[in-house]
């Protein structure tokens, strides 16, 4: 077992544990904090995958924006979050069965795949994924359509969110 | 990039630009809330439709295989733009009457339609996913448009949570398909499968996850649970648009992805689709019988119709009939859109504030007091059932024919039997309208009357020219890229 | 070195945990957190496939960026709806937000 594998395993265990806490814990503020921990663990995995830009974006977008937005929402609706009723619905055992079945099924499918245990090819000295990504996102030959559509989608979401949340007197 | 690339997405560019400028025009120039925003929005749809129609007969890919212009894409783009026009006509007076008139409605509608149009031209799974989200996110907001009432917002939240959940499945499926074939382009997937470099098991599981996610979008059983509540809670004008636009958008994705990229997986996936289609037809029609609220009834009816369209998808792997099947599905989508919009126009005409006027009993006496409206409603109900001479009948005829050609006799039998079951609850509405006395109150504003009238006439008249129309639809699809 | 299987198993587990969260929780914000976990699992998959299978094409990373944008847009709209409902009803723990039972 190499050092990288040990780092991966430690990160993975912490991240999955935090993710499990997100869905288990009763207190929503705690859930949001566990969520931040999960996101952080995932950004470490991006580093292990040589995707530095995504690691940074993960911290900035998921931790900096999405988690904080959730914490705001939890704070703004605080009276509800102190509700001490059950936090899970009656069907939670079924949810557990479905989730476990999906996990088992996926692993079973993966294990029959030739590439499952493949090792990462060596990145060339001159490989520059960040530059490649930047070029790809605005190149008409590659991803300019999804890129522009994402911006339209964000505009629409922004208008929609303002419309919903803005209390017109 | 060359000019042709831009030309390929010109309807989309026009619509998105129009919507974005409309925000500014609305804020700085129109100001007055009852002003011309809906008219301008409709004008934008017409201009975009002009650009879409101008591409008729062409076939090419743009942006290095990200988007594709073909008969299928043009046909669906025109359908989406047309449903946007009807969506505006249905909403115009309804929003004023319910006191929820906001010009953002029309802007969000335009954004949602641009998502659907993108879905029609998508030739890459990344674009499919983004189009799905672009069409859905404005719809979540529109579904909650009935403020200050609570029901619409709860409907919107439920629709949002299920939509986001379904989106997660779609994108996981796409990720697995990407892993299996090392590409996200639909053409690339076909190449990888033909070259034998793809892992078919992984691709199948990816396709199954995509199917689950899109199954939520088109309300196929067992992923339909949200439909009745959301359709009932959302403002009727939005429900009408949702029941046509979102469903057609979901089917556009299903048809495009399954027929053009995954025919090799038919052995695994056809049985799954068979079961889904059968379940959807049976459950939708049987549960609809028990409904006493017209919006819930139409919700289950729309579930059932998703089942009929899914029948066309069952034969997707059989290259001999798959193009016929896609044509039949498109034809049925048009028939369903026309009929459904008409029925919703009548529902909106009878709806009163506070969710009143939606019980089936409120339709008693409609035949005597408003013969025109009642006749239109009767036509729509007959078309939903599939009685000639209506579009619904011809649509079902073509669907059953392709299913039989594909060799799925039992599925066609189930389709016919469930249609018979559906006659019970559709005709019950007709009976209530004509046989029972009552004092229905109707707000038949000009746009509503126009919509109901035009769709009723179209339902009957177009069915008389079904042959040429179907030939035209097949023409559109034979050129499926 | 780390084989691809590690990342795929991790992503599948994360996706399943998120799925459980979506199906089992009653609170709308908690359900949304489950959806975020699912989308993160997908991103891990996409980036892992990029690194192990198509390192020369950037498709996986570009797709992951799009998923980021979608997640942000969904969260904005979803939380706006949550807050708006809370203002009127003083709850977001509605039993009718039970996704398995309708």
Per-chain mean pLDDT for chain B:
89
Sequential DSSP letters for B6-47 = HHHTHHHHHHHHHHHHHHHHIIIII-STTSSHHHHHHHHHHH
- State the nearest Cα–Cα gap between C72 and chain B, in angstroms: 11
CA distance B452 to B345: 6
pLDDT bracket for residue B318 (50, 70, 90): confident
pLDDT bracket for residue C101 (50, 70, 90): very low
| B96 reaches A (C-beta below 8 A) | no
Answer whether B205 sits within 8 Å of A109, measured CB to CB: yes
Q: Name, in order, each residue with C-beta under 8 angstroms of A107's C-beta and a sequence gap of 6 or more.
A: C9, C12
Supply the pLDDT for residue A79. 65
Pull the structure tokens for residue B119.
């879905």
Instruction: Specify the range with the lowest mean pLDDT, choosing from A142-146, B59-63, B328-332.
Output: B59-63
Contact residues on chain A for B102, CB-CB shorter than 8 A: 163
Report how many domains make up chain A.
2
pLDDT bracket for residue C55 (50, 70, 90): confident
Interface pTM, i.e. ipTM: 0.93
Supply the pLDDT for residue B346. 92
Distance of CA B154 to the CA centre of its chain: 22
pLDDT bracket for residue A112 (50, 70, 90): confident
What's the whole-number mean pLDDT along residues B6-13? 90
pLDDT bracket for residue B335 (50, 70, 90): very high
Complete domains list, chain C, with CATH: 4-97 (1.10.287.3510)
Contact residues on chain B for C92, CB-CB shorter than 8 A: 157
Answer whether A120 sits within 8 Å of C2, measured CB to CB: yes
Chosen from B129, B157, B158, B206 to mutate, greatest number of chain C CBs within 10 A = B157
Tell me the per-residue pLDDT of A59-111, one tens digit each, with 9 for 90 and over: 999 999 999 999 988 888 876 555 556 677 777 888 899 999 999 999 998 88
Nearest Cα neighbor of C87 from B434, A126, A76, B313 is A76
Neighbours of B352 (CB within 10 A): 14
Number of Cβ pairs closer than 8 Å across B and C? 113
Contact B56, B73 (CB under 8 A): no
Supply the pLDDT for residue B479. 58
End residue of a domain, out of A14, A49, A82: A82
Contact residues on chain B for C16, CB-CB shorter than 8 A: none
| B164 reaches C (C-beta below 8 A) | yes
| B161 reaches C (C-beta below 8 A) | yes
What residues make up the domain containing B279? 3-478
- State the nearest Cα–Cα gap between C32 and chain B, in angstroms: 7
Answer whether B175 sits within 8 Å of C62, measured CB to CB: no
Pull the structure tokens for residue B164.
């986001």
Identify the helix (H) or strand (E) that includes residue B431: helix B409-435
Output A150 or A127, whichever has higher pLDDT. Answer: A150
Chosen from B4, B15, B62, B104 to mutate, greatest number of chain A CBs within 10 A = B104
B20, B104, B134: residue with CB nearest A149: B134
Answer whether B157 sits within 8 Å of C28, measured CB to CB: yes
Chosen from B66, B161, B187, B229 to mutate, greatest number of chain C CBs within 10 A = B161
Task: To the nearest 10°, report the CA torsion of B167, B173, B179, B184.
Answer: -70
Whether the predicted pLDDT of A169 surpasses 60: no
The percent of residues in chain A predicted with pLDDT above 90, rounded, is: 50
CA distance C16 to B169: 11
Contact B430, B375 (CB under 8 A): no
In a domain, A113, yes or no: no
Q: Name, in order, each residue with C-beta under 8 angstroms of B279's C-beta and a sequence gap of 6 or more.
A: B220, B221, B222, B307
Supply the pLDDT for residue A151. 94
In a domain, A165, yes or no: yes
Chosen from C4, C23, C59, C95 to mutate, greatest number of chain B CBs within 10 A = C59
Whether the predicted pLDDT of A154 surpasses 60: yes
Pull the structure tokens for residue B367.
């035949």
Answer whether B107 sits within 8 Å of A159, measured CB to CB: yes
| B163 reaches A (C-beta below 8 A) | no
pLDDT bracket for residue B321 (50, 70, 90): confident
In a domain, A24, yes or no: yes
What's the whole-number mean pLDDT along residues B422-442? 89
Contact residues on chain A for C71, CB-CB shorter than 8 A: 61-62, 66
Answer whether B172 sits within 8 Å of C41, measured CB to CB: yes
pLDDT bracket for residue C99 (50, 70, 90): very low
Whether the predicted pLDDT of C95 surpasses 70: no
Instruction: Specify the range with the lowest mean pLDDT, choosing from A112-121, B21-30, B187-196, B197-206.
Output: A112-121
Whether the predicted pLDDT of A150 surpasses 50: yes
Tell me the per-residue pLDDT of B178-195, one tens digit each, with 9 for 90 and over: 999 999 999 999 999 998
Nearest Cα neighbor of C97 from C23, C26, C36 is C26
Nearest Cα neighbor of C66 from B36, A81, A7, A57 is A57
Nearest Cα neighbor of C67 from B82, B168, B189, B33 is B168
In a domain, A74, yes or no: yes
Tell me the per-residue pLDDT of C56-75, one tens digit each, with 9 for 90 and over: 888 899 999 999 999 999 99
Range A39-69 burial, b when 16+ CB lie within 10 A, else e: bbbbbbbbebbbbebbbebbbebbbeebbeb
Answer whether B66 sits within 8 Å of A143, measured CB to CB: yes
Supply the pLDDT for residue A77. 80
CA distance B332 to B334: 5
What residues make up the domain containing A70? 1-82
The neighbours of chain A, by the rule of 3 or more Cβ pairs under 8 Å, are: B, C
Pull the structure tokens for residue A75.
């704070």
pLDDT bracket for residue C26 (50, 70, 90): confident
Whether the predicted pLDDT of C32 surpasses 50: yes
Whether the predicted pLDDT of C100 surpasses 50: no
CA distance B126 to A142: 11
Supply the pLDDT for residue B34. 59
Report how many domains make up chain B.
1
Whether the predicted pLDDT of B383 surpasses 80: yes
Contact residues on chain B for A107, CB-CB shorter than 8 A: none
Supply the pLDDT for residue B430. 92
User: Do you know the residue count of chain B?
Assistant: 481
Tell me the per-residue pLDDT of A118-143, one tens digit each, with 9 for 90 and over: 888 887 777 788 888 888 888 888 89
Contact B126, C63 (CB under 8 A): yes
In a domain, A159, yes or no: yes
């Amino acid at each position: 077992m190499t050092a990288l594998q040990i780092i991966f395993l430690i990160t993975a265990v912490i991240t999955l544990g935090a993710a499990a806490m997100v869905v288990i814990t009763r207190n929503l503020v705690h859930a949001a904090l566990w969520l931040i921990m999960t996101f952080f663990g995932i950004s470490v995995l991006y580093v292990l995958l040589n995707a530095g830009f995504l690691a940074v974006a993960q911290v900035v977008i998921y931790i900096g924006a999405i988690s904080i937005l959730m914490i705001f929402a939890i704070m703004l609706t605080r009276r509800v979050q102190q509700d001490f009723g059950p936090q899970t619905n009656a069907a939670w055992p079924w949810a557990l069965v479905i989730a476990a079945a999906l996990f088992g099924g996926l692993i079973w499918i993966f294990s029959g795949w030739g590439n499952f245990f493949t090792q990462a090819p060596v990145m060339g000295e001159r490989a520059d994924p960040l530059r490649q990504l930047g070029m790809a996102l605005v190149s008409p030959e590659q991803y300019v359509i999804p890129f522009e559509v994402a911006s339209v989608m964000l505009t629409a979401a922004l208008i929609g969110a303002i419309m919903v949340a803005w209390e017109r007197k | 990039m060359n000019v042709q690339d831009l030309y390929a997405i010109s309807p989309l560019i026009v619509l998105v630009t129009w919507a974005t400028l409309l925000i500014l025009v609305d804020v700085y120039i129109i100001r007055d809330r009852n002003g011309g925003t809906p008219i301008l929005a409709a004008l934008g749809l017409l201009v975009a439709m002009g650009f879409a129609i101008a591409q008729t007969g062409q076939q090419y890919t743009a942006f290095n295989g990200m988007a594709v212009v073909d008969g299928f894409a043009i046909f669906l783009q025109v359908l989406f733009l047309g449903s946007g026009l009807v969506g505006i006509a249905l909403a115009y007076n309804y929003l004023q009457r319910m006191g929820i008139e906001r010009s953002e409605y029309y802007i969000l509608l335009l954004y949602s339609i641009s998502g659907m149009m993108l879905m029609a031209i998508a030739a890459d799974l990344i674009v499919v996913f983004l189009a799905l989200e672009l069409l859905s996110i404005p719809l979540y907001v529109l579904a909650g448009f009935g403020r200050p009432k609570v029901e619409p917002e709860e409907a919107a939240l439920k629709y949002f949570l299920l939509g986001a959940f379904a989106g997660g499945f779609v994108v996981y499926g796409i990720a697995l398909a990407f892993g299996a074939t090392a590409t996200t382009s639909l053409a690339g997937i076909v190449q990888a499968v033909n070259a034998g470099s793809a892992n078919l098991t992984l691709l199948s599981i990816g396709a199954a996850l995509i199917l689950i996610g899109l199954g939520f979008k088109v309300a196929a059983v067992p992923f339909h649970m949200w439909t009745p509540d959301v359709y009932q809670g959302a403002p009727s004008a939005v429900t009408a648009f949702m029941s046509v636009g979102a469903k057609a958008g979901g089917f556009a994705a299903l048809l495009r992805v399954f027929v053009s990229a995954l025919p090799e997986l038919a052995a695994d996936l056809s049985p799954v689709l068979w079961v889904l289609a059968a379940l959807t037809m049976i459950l939708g029609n049987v549960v609809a019988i028990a409904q006493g609220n017209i919006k819930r009834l139409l919700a289950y009816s729309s579930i059932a119709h998703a089942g009929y369209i899914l029948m066309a998808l069952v034969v997707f792997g059989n290259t001999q009939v798959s193009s016929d099947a896609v044509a039949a599905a498109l034809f049925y989508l048009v028939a369903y859109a026309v009929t459904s919009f008409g029925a919703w126009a009548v529902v909106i005409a009878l709806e009163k504030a506070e969710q009143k006027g939606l019980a089936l009993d409120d339709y008693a006496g409609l035949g005597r007091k408003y013969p025109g409206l009642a006749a239109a409603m009767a036509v729509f109900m007959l078309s939903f059932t599939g009685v000639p001479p209506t579009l619904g009948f011809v649509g079902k005829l073509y669907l059953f024919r392709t299913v039989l050609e594909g060799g799925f006799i039992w599925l066609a039998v189930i389709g016919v039997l469930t249609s018979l079951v559906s006659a019970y609850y559709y005709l019950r509405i007709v009976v209530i309208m004509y046989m029972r006395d009552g004092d229905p109150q109707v707000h038949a504003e000009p746009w509503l009357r126009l919509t109901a009238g035009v769709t009723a006439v179209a339902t009957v008249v177009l069915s008389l020219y079904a042959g040429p129309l179907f030939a035209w639809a097949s023409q559109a699809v034979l050129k499926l890229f | 070195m780390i084989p691809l299987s590690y990342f795929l198993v991790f992503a599948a587990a994360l996706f399943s945990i998120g799925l459980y969260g979506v199906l089992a929780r009653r609170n709308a914000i908690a359900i949304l957190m489950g959806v975020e976990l699912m989308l993160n699992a997908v991103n891990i998959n996409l980036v892992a496939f990029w690194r192990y299978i198509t390192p020369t094409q950037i498709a996986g990373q570009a797709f992951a960026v799009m998923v980021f944008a979608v997640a942000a847009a969904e969260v904005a709209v979803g939380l706006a709806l949550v807050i708006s409902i809370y203002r009127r009803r003083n709850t977001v723990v509605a039993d009718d937000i039970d996704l398995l039972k309708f």
